[in-house]
Chain A
Amino acid sequence: MAFTKRPDGRKFDEMRPMKAEVGVIPNADGSAMFAFGDTIAIAAVYGPKSLHPQHLQNPEKGIIRCVYDMLSFSVTERKRPGPSRRSSEISKVTEWALSPVIQLNQFPNTVVDIHIMILQANASTRCAGINAAALALAHAGLPMTEFVSAVSIGKVDDKIVVDVIKEEEDYKDGEGSTDIPVAMLSNSKKISLLQLDGKIAPERMKEVIEAAEKACEEIYKVQIEALKKIKEE
């Protein structure tokens, strides 16, 4: 059967309802929550602080360290607590997605720690994590050249959809499912995260990037609204 309707009734280019809130962890220098529907991520930023052991320090610029993980009960089948190969890879790509916008050259010899935790998962967790982390970095007052927003684009059967859910990720009929997380910078529109997992003809990638750009603009608006709220308080 062809994929003609999304399981939750959304249009192909429609995001799930988004939620963003800044300042959810009082101890952190910056923190935020970001949700795509049932997928909820929180992020906390500590730093810039001095980096130990000393030989890891970079006298030219600060470094960032990112740790992504999921609560053991955030998924249907319990996830064994602690880091896995999957979470180490996501931590690294998240670091790469965020680092271009942070002006780390102002903080030599320091480290900025970013911790991301998924509280509840229904696909797109790394993107929700990046969105929360970008907010937390801004909340921490780190100088940023521009903002980062991330979305997972999917190709389900032959349809390009935005913000995929688990059911779409697991779609097996027709051409199956392809998952493409993308992070885009708010002004330069450069791509700082791009992964792909599935099966897609090269000529369809243009559609994917266009869908990602449009979705990231929507996400950026939600992020900015959340940041404006702290100013008012």
Chain B
Amino acid sequence: MEISNLTKERIRKSLKENKRFDSRGLLEFRDIKVETGVSKNAEGSARVRIGNTDIIAGVKMNVAEPYPDSQDEGVMTTTVELLPLSSPEFEPGPPKIEAIELARIIDRGIRESGFIDFKKLCIKEGEKVWMIFIDIFSLNNDGNLLDAAGIAAVAALLSAKMPKYDEKEEKVKFGELTEKGIPLTDAVPFNLTFHKVGESIILDPKKEEEESSEGRLSVAFSNGKKLFINAMQKGNEKPLSKEEVMNIIEEGTKKFKELFKKVHK
């Protein structure tokens, strides 16, 4: 059920006085818990909880033909399913725009950061390359699934082991994993999503705050040799001023460093 306009108004008003219903600061995250190895048959898996938000990501791999424009590189696809069991507003059926957008934001952040070394995922140029599937499922939605999904995807990739590959048969031996991880670089990506609620900018909204949000900006950072922005997405109807955008980028850079230390151990 969507919350009432009255509640939205109350949220906007208290945010204006720098107050949140759970007494956090405007840019303060709830507790983040990351657990890996949560689904045994996956090459890699992670479950991330941010407050009551709960999301699970798994990595599966297979061998496929490369794309025509990158013959010597592996392939990655990201999907997100917003499961009906995780929230009353999610309905069964083919993915709706919310899930598609979420998956595409996560996908861009990871792909553009260079976190996955796609060249090392080539088995035989032009013929066979490794394909990575990152599948993300929501288990409980209490706001900010987007940032949780980004952390879960990265944690799952970091924990993954390459499956065994039978070179004679040219097939993957499903169920048998090697000791080798996926070829990754040190450019670890995370995205941070800022929401504009009334006149305030907040991070990590709970569900009721997210429903009161009129504009949002997701920024995916990566921390390799240098800090880069790899993806951005402005969402929802309310436009942002130039100053707001520049502020978000500045605050995001600081927050990313802080979050990075907390989550990536």
Contacts and interface: CB of A to CB of B under 8 A. Distances in A.
Given A92-B97, A199-B112, A199-B228, A99 B249 contact: no
Interface residues of B, number: 35
A209 B242 contact: yes
Contacts of B229: 196, 199-202, 205
Contact of A88 (B97, B221, B239, B246): B97
B100 A88 contact: yes
A206 B229 CA distance: 13
A180 B231 CA distance: 9
Chain B contact residues, majority secondary structure? mixed
A191 B112 contact: no
A100 interface: yes
Interface of B: 68, 97, 100-101, 103-104, 108, 112-114, 217, 221, 226-242, 245-246, 249-250, 252-253
A180 B233 CA distance: 10
A85 interface: yes
Closest 8 CB pairs of A and B: A196-B232, A190-B239, A194-B234, A192-B239, A99-B237, A100-B239, A199-B228, A202-B253
Nearest to A178: B112
A100 B215 CA distance: 11
Contact of B227 (A100, A190, A201): A201
Q: Which of B100, B236, B237 has the most CB of A within 10 A?
A: B237
B230 A198 contact: yes
A206 B240 CA distance: 14
A185 B235 CA distance: 16
Contacts of A198: 112, 230
A194 B217 contact: yes
Given A89-B100, A92-B101, A100 B237 contact: yes
Given A190-B239, A190-B241, A209 B234 contact: no
